[in-house]
């Protein structure tokens, strides 16, 4: 395989000139042309590691998230990848599986590799390991004032869910969520829902699960079966994610109450498993494409010296699908 010396020889220039040309340092037009011809002739491929060393940066962005195996994360990864491609950037995909040490490994790796930056949806406490000169954008989780932060309006979204249930005739409310580490949108959703119910003087109950993700579907089923066995205590359910809403639908399959006739149900996310998938659960939809777009914009203009934070709280909307009744 041809190396830089071969190119220099064929072009009749010094190795340094070839090196400058490849690393974007200006060389005379006539020499640049000869070098370009020689590169094509020899089918020379510059060594990226050498270039990264020289430029002290790479064109890779690390995307750290717990998993890509949910509709929300798959759709988000899809759109982030599209935005990166528009900017000639590549994605190093880092599924942390919620393991703190793994996330930390990725942050270290990112520093070693001199990646252009990190986009993270971290559910663990990597804050002390983030330095101010590493471009980073956080989705959904607030770190500190120097880390740009992109999230959906979880509080207003949950208020909207309660409001839509209410105006479609529900009177007694149930919210379903699972406890997760601090600072997540989930809690904003809880607060928004409670705020609406209190303001309107509505009865509500919160089912807050403290267990692991594994087995949550079964625990929801047991809870719903128990609560709804003899009566229909809540006629409006807000599940803080669409996945939990699907668990609720499963739980109702062997009960005498029908969705949405007896019980209305609203989820949260509006993510699809594939492009144009028809959705059925009424939901508070996040603008996933916009989250991706804003995150990459923030990353590209990152400035760790700023003392204030760029905080983007993106609007959500209600999608009236098959688990809510029509307005009269």
Q: Report, in Å, the least distance between residue 268 CB and its own copies.
A: 15
C-alpha distances in Å from residue 249, one per residue of 245, 282, 324: 6, 12, 12
Asked if 58 interacts with its own copies (CB under 8 A), we say: yes
The total of other beta-carbon atoms located within 10 Å of residue 4's CB is 17
Q: Which stretch binds its own copies (CB under 8 A): 165-173, 195-203, 213-221, 302-310?
A: 213-221
Residue 284 tokens read as 């508070």
102 binds its own copies (CB under 8 A): yes
Contact region for its own copies (CB under 8 A) — 81-89, 142-150, 186-194, 232-240? Answer: 81-89
CB of 89 to its own copies, least distance (A): 11
112/231 with CB nearer its own copies: 112
Cis ω for the linkage preceding 260 (within 30 of 0) = yes
Rounded Cα gap, residues 158 and 163, in angstroms? 9
The closest of 231, 267, 232 to 249, measured between CA atoms, is: 267
Q: Does 275 bind its own copies (CB under 8 A)?
A: yes
Say whether residue 273 binds its own copies (CB under 8 A): yes
Establish if 198 lies at the interface with its own copies (CB under 8 A): no
- Residue among 109 and 194 whose Cβ is closer to its own copies: 109
Closest contact distance (angstroms) between CB of 259 and its own copies is: 16
Q: Give dist(CA 266, CA 235) in Å, integer.
A: 11
Tokens 């070693």 label which residue? 112
- Looking at beta carbons only, is 156 or 241 nearer to its own copies? 241
Rounded Cα–Cα distance for residues 8 and 307 (Å): 48
Q: How many CB atoms lie within 10 A of CB 277?
A: 11
Q: What does the binding site for its own copies look like in residue numbers (CB under 8 A)?
A: 45-50, 52-53, 58, 60, 67-71, 74-75, 77-78, 81-82, 85, 90-95, 97, 102, 108-109, 111-114, 213-214, 217, 243, 246, 250, 272-278
């Amino acid at each position: 395989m041809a190396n830089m010396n071969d190119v220099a020889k064929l072009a009749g220039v010094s190795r340094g000139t070839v090196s400058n040309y490849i690393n974007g340092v200006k060389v005379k037009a006539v020499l640049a042309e000869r070098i370009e011809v020689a590169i094509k002739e020899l089918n020379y491929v510059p060594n990226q590691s050498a270039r990264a060393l020289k430029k002290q940066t790479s064109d890779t962005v690390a995307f750290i998230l717990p998993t890509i195996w949910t509709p929300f994360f798959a759709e988000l990864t899809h759109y982030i990848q599209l935005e990166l491609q528009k900017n000639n950037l590549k994605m190093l995909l880092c599924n942390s599986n919620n393991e703190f040490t793994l996330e930390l490994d990725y942050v270290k790796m990112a520093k070693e590799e001199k990646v252009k930056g990190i986009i993270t949806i971290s559910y663990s406490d990597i804050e002390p390991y983030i330095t101010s000169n590493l471009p980073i954008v956080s989705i959904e989780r607030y770190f500190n004032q120097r880390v740009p932060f992109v999230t959906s309006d979880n509080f207003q979204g949950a208020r909207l869910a309660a409001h839509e249930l209410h105006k479609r005739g529900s009177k007694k409310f149930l919210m379903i969520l699972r406890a997760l580490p601090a600072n997540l949108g989930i809690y904003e959703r809880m607060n928004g829902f409670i705020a609406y119910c209190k303001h309107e003087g509505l009865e509500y109950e919160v089912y807050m699960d403290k267990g692991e993700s594994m087995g949550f579907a079964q625990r929801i089923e047991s809870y719903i079966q128990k609560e709804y066995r003899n009566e229909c205590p809540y006629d409006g359910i807000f599940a803080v994610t669409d996945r939990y809403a699907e668990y609720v639908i499963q739980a109702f399959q062997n009960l005498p109450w029908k969705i949405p006739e007896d019980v209305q149900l609203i989820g949260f996310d509006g993510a699809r498993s594939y492009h144009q998938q028809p959705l059925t659960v009424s939901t508070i939809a996040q603008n996933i494409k916009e989250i991706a777009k804003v995150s990459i914009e923030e990353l590209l203009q990152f400035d760790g010296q700023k003392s204030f934070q760029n905080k983007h709280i993106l609007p959500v909307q209600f999608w009236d699908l098959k688990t809510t009744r029509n307005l009269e």
